[in-house]
């Protein structure tokens, strides 16, 4: 096959794959993943999860504030209410605990370590390229948050070479598995590109999962005449 024929075949294959990807993107990821549930009470943690839970670095489980409060009422203050590990003292001990989980291939630990490099926290020197490497590894191991972080980094070129298509691909991968923030980001992209009805669809999916930013976006689009009253009422 000539180079020209190969290029044409590749283009045709991409054209055929696009509708399939769009269908899968819009048909899947309407429910949040099991990982968003508290490992103790099994209830989904309200979004944004950082406001209603704490990440326990010993086991890399996010425990809801309600279960943490209940544990404290039972006198459990210095150990993890899920796995029972004693809370580490000092940054060196915290990093050692994270590294132990990283060495076992824990996707969330790898993602978290990437965040420490990105922010230069816990005594770790800021190193964005290293953060990207760790997030990429975590995403390959299944971390949806890592996909979302990579999407933001590549799409806006945040201390990394801007690559919008690559950023969108990461958001798509996470959104199809129920990552509400990634779904919201896709809605924002479609809104910026003038694809308002597609943006509303993304925002509605995310809003139904509890993303307030998506709900606010639908409200704004309704005021602008870009979303219908039925769409607005469905999520409010």
Q: What is the pLDDT of residues 35-91, one digit of tens each?
A: 999 999 999 999 999 999 999 999 999 999 999 999 999 999 999 999 999 999 999
Q: pTM of whole model > 0.85?
A: yes
Rounded to whole angstroms, the Cα distance separating 180 from 195 reads 19
Residue environment code for 175-191, b if the CB has 16+ CB neighbours within 10 A, otherwise e:
bbbbbbbbbbbbbbbbb
pLDDT score of 9 more than 60? no
Residues present in the chain in total: 236
- CATH superfamily assigned to domain 89-177: Tetratricopeptide repeat domain (1.25.40.10)
pLDDT in the model for residue 4: 43
Q: Where does the pLDDT of residue 232 fall: very low under 50, low under 70, confident under 90, or very high at 90 and above?
A: low
Of 236, 147, 180, nearest in space to 49 by CA? 180
pLDDT in the model for residue 184: 99
Pick the CATH number of 30-87 from 3.30.40.10, 2.120.10.30, 3.40.50.720, 3.30.450.20: 3.30.40.10
More confident residue, 16 or 154: 154
Boundaries of CATH 1.25.40.10 in the chain?
89-177
CA dihedral 65, 44, 49, 92 (to 10 degrees): 70
Boundaries of CATH 3.30.40.10 in the chain?
30-87
pLDDT score of 110 more than 80? yes
């Amino acid at each position: 096959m000539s180079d020209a024929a190969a290029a044409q075949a590749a283009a045709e294959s991409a054209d055929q794959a696009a509708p399939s990807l769009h269908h899968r993107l819009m048909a899947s990821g309407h429910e949040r993943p099991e990982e968003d549930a508290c490992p103790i009470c099994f209830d989904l943690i309200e979004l944004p999860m950082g406001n209603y839970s704490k990440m326990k670095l010993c086991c890399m489980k996010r425990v809801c504030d309600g279960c943490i409060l209940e544990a404290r009422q039972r006198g459990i203050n210095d150990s993890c209410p899920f796995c029972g590990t004693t809370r580490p003292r000092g940054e060196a001990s915290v990093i050692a605990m994270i590294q132990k989980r990283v060495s076992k291939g824990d996707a969330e630990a790898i993602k978290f370590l990437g965040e420490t490099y990105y922010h230069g926290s816990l005594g770790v020197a800021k190193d964005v390229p290293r953060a990207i490497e760790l997030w990429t590894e975590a995403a390959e191991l299944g971390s949806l948050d890592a996909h979302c972080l990579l999407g933001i980094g590549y799409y806006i070129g945040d201390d990394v070479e801007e690559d919008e298509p690559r950023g969108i691909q990461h958001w798509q991968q996470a959104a199809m598995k129920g990552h509400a923030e990634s779904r919201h980001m896709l809605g924002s992209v479609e809104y910026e590109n003038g694809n308002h009805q597609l943006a509303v669809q993304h925002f509605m999916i995310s809003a139904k999962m509890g993303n307030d930013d998506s709900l606010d976006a639908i409200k704004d689009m309704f005021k602008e005449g870009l979303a219908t009253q039925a769409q607005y009422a469905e999520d409010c």
